Amino acid sequence: MQGFEGLLFYQIQCKSLVAALTDLPVSVLNSHTHYDHVGGNYQFSSLYGVASDYTAANAKGRTNDEVREFVGSGWVWKDMPNGVTVDNYVSRAFEISDVIADGEIIDLGGRELKVFHVPGHAPDAVVLIDREARLMWTGDSFYPATLYAHLVGSNVAQYEKSAERMAILGTDVDILLPSHNEPWVSSDYLVAMHRAFIAMQKQGADYRISDGDREYGFDGFTIMVNDPAPWEQR
C-alpha cells in the first residue's frame, strides 16, 4: 500500500530516484495537480499539464498553512525525510512547459501512451492508456479504496461521465495502475465504478456519514460526496 508518507518521500527524493533509474531525458505528467501529486515537480524542467485555470492555480504552489495538516498527526506514520517538519513543509511552485490535450499521443520511442481527460475527481484529471500492453494508468480517478468526489474542484456529474468513458475504454485494457492503495488491479473495476455512480444517485441508496460527507459503499471501493448530495440540489 502506498500511503501519504510514501508519496511525501518520493515527492522530495524523486529527482535522485529518477536519476538512479535512467540517464535519458525525463518529462513529468501528473495525473492531476492535487498537492500529493505535484510536490516534486519543481525539480524538473519538462512538465506536461492540462490547459486549465485549475492547473495554473496549483502550479503557483501551496503555502505551509495550506498543506501543514497533511504532514501532521494522523497523516504520516513514518519519520519525515530530509528534515521536513509540520512547520516548514510547503508545496513549491512549478512551471508547465508543454500543454497536453485529450486524445494526444505520447510517443516514448517504440511505446505509445494515449491521453484521456477525465474530470471529476479533479478538473485536470487524466488517464493514460497503452493499448498494446493493455494497461491504463488511472491516477486518482480510480483506485480500490474511497474515491473522492467531494473535494473543492470535484464534480460528481463530470465524474459520472468520466466513469462511463473509462468503462468503455476499459475494453481495451486488462490492468489498471492506480496512484494509491494498490499498484495493479483488474480493469473490471471500471464497469463497477460506472454502475456505482448511477446506483448511488437512486432514491433510497444506502450511505453513511463520514466527517460530514456521504460515503456510498460498493464491492472493493466507496465513493465520497458532499451532504446533501449534489443531485438533490439540482
| pLDDT band with cut points at 50, 70 and 90 for residue 234 | low
Give dist(CA 113, CA 132) in Å, integer: 9
Give dist(CA 100, CA 4) in Å, integer: 27
Would the pLDDT of 3 be above 60?
A: no
CA angle 121, 103, 92 (to 5 degrees): 50
> Tens of pLDDT along 87-111?
999 999 999 999 999 999 999 988 9
Residue 45 pLDDT: 93
Q: Dihedrals φ, ψ of 41, to 5°?
A: -55, -35
| pLDDT band with cut points at 50, 70 and 90 for residue 4 | very low
Cα 156 from chain centre: 15
Of the candidate ranges 22-36, 131-145, 186-200, the one whose mean pLDDT is the lowest: 22-36
Would the pLDDT of 2 be above 80?
A: no
List Cα–Cα distances, 88 to 55, 71, 83, 178, 200, in angstroms: 24, 10, 9, 29, 41
Three-state secondary structure of the chain: CCCHHHHHHHHHHHHHHHHHHCCCCCCEECCCCCHHHHCCHHHCCCEEEECCHHHHHHCCCECHHHHHHHHCCCCCCCCCCCCCCCCCCCECCCCCCEEECCCCEEECCCCEEEEEECCCCCCCCEEEEECCCCEEEEECCCCCCEEECCCCCCCHHHHHHHHHHHHHHHHHCCEEEECCCCCCEECHHHHHHHHHHHHCCCCCCCCEEECCEEEEEECCEEEEECCCCHHHCC
Q: Dihedrals φ, ψ of 136, to 5°?
A: -130, 125
Q: Dihedrals φ, ψ of 174, to 5°?
A: -110, -30
* Mean pLDDT over the full length of the chain: 91
For each of the domains in the chain, give its residue range(s) and CATH number, in order of start: 4-98 (no CATH), 101-232 (3.60.15.10)
Would the pLDDT of 207 be above 60?
A: yes
| pLDDT band with cut points at 50, 70 and 90 for residue 179 | very high
| pLDDT band with cut points at 50, 70 and 90 for residue 233 | confident
Give dist(CA 95, CA 130) in Å, integer: 27
List Cα–Cα distances, 40 to 63, 130, 178, in angstroms: 15, 25, 19
Average pLDDT in the 13-18 region?
A: 77
Residue 6 pLDDT: 40
